[in-house]
């Protein structure tokens, strides 16, 4: 415990830098810390299988034997989980929480441990003190949800991943003091040693596994979004360009406001409806992914490569996207939205896949048509187009 606390304080400056880093970097740091939590937890759970940590609790009627490595494991891992929540929230959460939240967590666990090793009325005092500290800790977890969203979310409303992660921690930690009070370690309502140990195992696995897995899912979703945005600008997914840099690049190369399909040569000719639907699908997909600032870039890439209607969109796959330098993750998300919309409209009737895929034919035809439109717009003197009036005469049509 002393070593764990020393490490927290000794590396506080590094954690301070991490808290102000971009979200992608904060996710990577939290993933590294999660690995340490998993290693600590695994080591001490194996240690519980031995007799090294066995300790007979004083003042118990049935001589209950405690696995001392269990509370030690909690003291070493639970404060780190609280620290990860602070780091993940970023600079919107006050910096003193990097000290306060782990310290409160350690204090709660020390009160519980002291309650186990004391008897009579003092046991109840330690338990009550620890319960008060746990309430303060959960209150600040709820407060961090509000701080992270700048007042837009709270414990009872919101849809962000950070809110879900914080609620997950509160929900999975709350049963611990309840089970402690029921067991022989607490007030002795449940006396079966096997049932008590199995209860602790289930609670420990559920709380840590769900927390770490959900945080890893958040990291993977955000990483996929950033990599897709980098591909839009011809960068490698591993290139170091933050989300803020990508947004600035989008602002300088894109347009603001709504998307007008006519700016991309869409919504004209025989495939007008399909082209308009494509522009709508791309815009809605990127808004859903939180990447609306990159809509202009995405549409231009698709149109330049001949992907101008939903028929071509349906036939894109990962290999074809690599050939056309299109971000497959965004194309796949757009395809899923289109498939869901077709199913709602009753148009997706299934059936076998065509043996002769007309993808290349459609792609070439769309490229030809877009090239023809650009040429017509670039040559105002072609037949059938109004020419500017000559001096002394009215406008004529050739």
pLDDT tens for 68-119 read: 788 888 888 899 999 999 998 888 888 889 889 999 999 999 998 888 787 7
CA distances to 228, 278, 313, 341, 343 from 337, rounded to whole Å, are 17, 11, 11, 6, 10
Q: What is the CATH number of domain 10-230?
A: 1.20.1070.10
Cα separation, 42 vs 39, in Å, equals: 5
pLDDT tens for 330-357 read: 898 888 888 877 654 433 443 333 444 5
* Residues paired with 67 in a beta bridge: 54
pLDDT tens for 279-308 read: 888 888 887 787 878 888 888 888 888 888
pLDDT level of residue 377 (50, 70, 90 thresholds) = low
User: Given this model, what pLDDT does residue 308 score?
Assistant: 85
User: Given this model, what pLDDT does residue 190 score?
Assistant: 82
For residues 188, 194, 199, 202, the Cα torsion angle rounded to the nearest 10 degrees is 170
Q: Where in the chain is the domain with CATH 1.20.1070.10?
A: 10-230
pTM of full prediction above 0.85: no
């Amino acid at each position: 415990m002393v070593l764990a606390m020393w490490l927290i304080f000794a590396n506080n400056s590094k954690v301070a830098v991490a808290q102000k880093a971009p979200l992608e970097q904060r996710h990577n740091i939290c993933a590294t810390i999660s690995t340490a939590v998993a290693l600590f937890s695994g080591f001490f759970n194996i240690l519980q299988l031995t007799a090294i940590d066995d300790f007979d609790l004083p003042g118990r009627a049935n001589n209950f034997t405690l696995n001392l490595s269990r509370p030690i494991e909690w003291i070493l891992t639970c404060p780190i989980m609280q620290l990860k929540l602070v780091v993940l929230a970023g600079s919107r959460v006050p910096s003193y929480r990097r000290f306060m939240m782990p310290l409160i967590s350690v204090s709660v666990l020390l009160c519980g441990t002291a309650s186990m090793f004391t008897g009579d009325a003092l046991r109840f005092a330690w338990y009550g003190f620890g319960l008060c500290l746990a309430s303060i800790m959960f209150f600040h977890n709820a407060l961090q949800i509000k701080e992270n969203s700048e007042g837009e979310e709270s414990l009872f409303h919101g849809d962000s991943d950070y809110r879900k992660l914080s609620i997950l921690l509160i929900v999975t930690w709350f049963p611990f003091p309840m089970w402690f009070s029921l067991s022989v370690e607490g007030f002795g309502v449940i006396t079966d040693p096997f049932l008590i140990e199995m209860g602790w195992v289930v609670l420990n696995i559920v709380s840590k596994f769900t927390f770490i897995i959900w945080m890893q899912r958040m990291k993977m979703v955000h990483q996929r979004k950033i990599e897709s945005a980098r591909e839009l600008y011809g960068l490698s997914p591993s290139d170091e360009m933050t989300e803020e840099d990508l947004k600035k690049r989008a602002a300088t190369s894109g347009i603001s406001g709504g998307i007008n399909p006519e700016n991309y040569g869409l919504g004209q000719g025989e495939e007008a409806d399909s082209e308009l639907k494509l522009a709508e699908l791309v815009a809605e997909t990127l808004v859903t992914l939180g990447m609306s600032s990159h809509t202009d870039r995405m549409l231009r890439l698709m149109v330049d490569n001949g992907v101008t209607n939903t028929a071509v969109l349906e036939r894109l796959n990962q290999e074809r996207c690599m050939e056309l330098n299109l971000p497959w993750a965004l194309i796949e998300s757009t395809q899923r939205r289109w498939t869901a919309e077709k199913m709602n409209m009753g148009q997706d009737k299934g059936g076998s896949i065509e043996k002769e895929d007309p993808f290349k034919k459609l792609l070439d035809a769309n490229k030809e048509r877009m090239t023809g439109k650009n040429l017509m717009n670039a040559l105002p003197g072609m037949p059938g187009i109004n020419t500017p009036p000559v001096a002394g005469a009215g406008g004529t049509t050739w």
